[in-house]
Amino acid sequence: MTHTLHRFGRRQDLTQDFIVTAMPARGFNDQNCVPKQKEFLRTALEYGPVNIGNAIKGAEHRATKDLRPTVHWHRDDAPDPEAVIEEVDRPTTVSAVFDDYEPMQAFVAKLVEMDLGLSVNISSVPDQAMKCCEECGVVRHSIEYSVGFRGATEKLPDDTTMELMTMCGHGMVSAAFARKMTDWVRSGRRTPEDATRYMARFCVCGSFNPARAEKILARAAEGK
Amino acid sequence: MKIDHQKCVACGNCVAVCPMGAIYIDRSLNRATVNTDECVECYTCFRGMSMEHLNPTAVRAVRRLLHVFRLRFDPEPDVCPTSAIVPDELSWPRVIRRAFSDVTATHESTGVHGRGTEEVKTNDVTNRLGVGRIGLTVELGRPGIGVWFRDVQHVTRSLAAAGVTFEEKNPVTSLMADRERGDLNPEILNEKVMSVIIEFNTAVDDIGEILRLLRKVANEIPTIMALGISVRCDETGHSDLEDILTENDFEFLRAKTNIGIGRAELAATPSV
């Protein structure tokens, strides 16, 4: 779904949702870009992202293919950022998600200083990215705006579900699953943290913002 | 994608997980089943669900026992207990579903994973979108709704009739049989995918007319249209696009900003 562009939500929520990506251009700078992409991810970890990802291999939260039956009572679901970094083995899009402006801006300032040569994009509310560019001493090169949904919009789910499912830019978090998790949190079957981890595992590229998802679920549980 | 009925225990976990709502419990079989018309081969169920590899007979026995005693088990919702989800061998033209719906699949035409393109994300390196031009990404389809290529063709034909030139390095463009008319390869028209992105650029002076056309066409197809509109900023980082969008009653809350620190590393860099 053009990756991170069409995230749905209220402005006050979207101002706490930043995705910084690094991408090589095919035929221009994609040779020998793997070490640079790993460096991007490793550096990102120093600034406390809420998620990192490699669009073709996976993110911090991921499915496990050899679970034991005890998983239903105790599940080792700690995020694994090192696996994300190690798995970068060919040109891809790598990303780091932040839920706060300051660490995101500090990370971008570091990227400018590192001069990796990869294209770096900030997906956010546009004026925040503009401010970040100014503070980092760079001039924004290009910008793509999301102007929302048109057509058969009556087929779209409710706002809470839209907020959750559009955080996976490729649509891998289904509306039914987002609704199910919202219902489970409302009914006390799971905490917002647990429900968020279930959803985050389906987002391969790592653009899902777990911190924002927890807030959305907690808000929904309170009936707001 | 298919469900191995020898293994499935009808727990129903995969039903909610499917972004297209294509998996259901067949009550006559008491097994999860995939509606192959609606399945877009996104692999979300196969890739995203954790697996337990339990013995199906044992799981069914435990479930029956719990049912008899009216006990309820609260399982993890993202787990297939018996690893019953199995990818199908895909052939043309069905394989096109996966190419546009599975984020990890890389398009041969663009080298970009998923259904996307580089758009302006690498514009600082490629200069794909020049000064004075406006780029448009017209995304058709959403999870749970999807889009048929016959409806995609309706949009590409309308755009072609308006004289747009489709982006060369785009998966939809690569499937066009006649780019002048916006005709797609007829073999794929009855294939459904989660979404596609039509991409082209236009002169600043023509954007109002294009936006009006897109508004009209969006109401002629049974799916969602999500528009992305891009521009190259001037040397001060400014763009007039926000004013243009406001003039045309388009609201924007979110954007992708290319911060301009990429560079080409090959000797033959494109002209600016």
- Report the gap between the CA of B177 and the closest CA in chain A (Å): 24
Best probe of the A interface among B49, B79, B120, B121, by most A CBs < 10 A, is B121
Establish if A25 belongs to a structural domain.
Answer: yes
Q: Which of B104, B135, B252 sits opposite A56 (nearest CB)?
A: B104
Residue B227 in contact with residue B139, Cβ under 8 Å? yes
Average pLDDT of every residue of chain A: 94
What is the distance between the alpha carbons of residues B42 and B22, in angstroms, rounded to a whole number? 11
- Token digits of residue B105: 């699949």
Hey, is B50 helix, strand or coil? strand
Summarize the confidence of residues A144-156 as an average pLDDT: 94
Searching chain A, which residue's CA lies closest to the CA of residue B134?
Answer: A144
**What pLDDT is attached to residue B251?**
87
Are B145 and A152 inside 8 Å of each other by CB?
A: yes
Confidence label for A221 from pLDDT (cuts 50, 70 and 90): very high
Best probe of the A interface among B253, B266, B271, by most A CBs < 10 A, is B253
Establish if A1 belongs to a structural domain.
Answer: no
**What pLDDT is attached to residue A167?**
95
Closest C-alpha to A147, from B251, B201, B224, B140: B251
What is the distance between the alpha carbons of residues A132 and A129, in angstroms, rounded to a whole number? 5
Searching chain B, which residue's CA lies closest to the CA of residue A123?
Answer: B256
Residues in chain B with CB shorter than 8 Å from the CB of A177 are 16-17, 77
CATH of B109-247, one of 3.30.70, 1.10.1760, 3.10.350, 3.90.105: 3.30.70
The pTM assigned to this predicted structure is 0.93
Choice among A2-6, A43-47, A80-84, B66-70 with the minimum mean pLDDT: A2-6
Q: Count chain A–chain B contacts defined by CB atoms under 8 A.
A: 337
Could you give the number of structural domains in chain A? Answer: 1
Closest C-alpha to B158, from B104, B107, B219: B219
The strand pairing partners of B35, in sequence order, are none
> What DSSP designation does A16 have?
T
Pairing state of beta strands B50-51 and A119-124?
Answer: unpaired
**What pLDDT is attached to residue A76?**
81
Are A144 and B79 inside 8 Å of each other by CB?
A: no
Confidence label for A74 from pLDDT (cuts 50, 70 and 90): confident
**What pLDDT is attached to residue A146?**
94
Q: For chain B, give every domain's residue range.
A: 2-86, 109-247
Summarize the confidence of residues A194-221 as an average pLDDT: 95
- Cβ–Cβ contact B86 with A under 8 A: no
ipTM: 0.95
Q: What count of Cα atoms within 13 Å lies in the side-chain half-sphere of residue A209?
A: 29
**What pLDDT is attached to residue B92?**
93
Walk along chain B (272 residues) and give the pLDDT tens digit of each residue.
Answer: 999 999 999 999 999 999 999 999 999 999 999 999 999 999 999 999 999 999 999 999 999 999 999 998 888 999 999 999 999 999 999 999 999 999 888 666 555 555 667 889 999 999 989 988 999 999 999 999 999 999 999 999 999 999 999 998 899 999 999 999 999 999 999 999 999 999 999 999 999 999 999 999 999 999 999 999 999 999 999 988 988 898 888 888 899 999 999 999 754 444 44
Q: Which of B76, B113, B262 sits opposite A25 (nearest CB)?
A: B262
- Cβ–Cβ contact B135 with A under 8 A: yes
Confidence label for A125 from pLDDT (cuts 50, 70 and 90): very high
Establish if A4 belongs to a structural domain.
Answer: no
Residues in chain A with CB shorter than 8 Å from the CB of B49 are 63
Closest C-alpha to B157, from B174, B176, B143, B141: B176
**What pLDDT is attached to residue B112?**
54
- Cβ–Cβ contact B259 with A under 8 A: yes
- Report the gap between the CA of B202 and the closest CA in chain A (Å): 14
Searching chain A, which residue's CA lies closest to the CA of residue B248?
Answer: A147
Confidence label for A2 from pLDDT (cuts 50, 70 and 90): low
**What pLDDT is attached to residue B268?**
46
What is the distance between the alpha carbons of residues A207 and A74, in angstroms, rounded to a whole number? 26
Find the domain containing A33 and state its range: 11-221
- Cβ–Cβ contact B37 with A under 8 A: no
Are B121 and A56 inside 8 Å of each other by CB?
A: no
CATH of B2-86, one of 4.10.860, 3.30.70, 1.10.600, 1.10.3470: 3.30.70
Establish if A85 belongs to a structural domain.
Answer: yes
- Cβ–Cβ contact B247 with A under 8 A: no
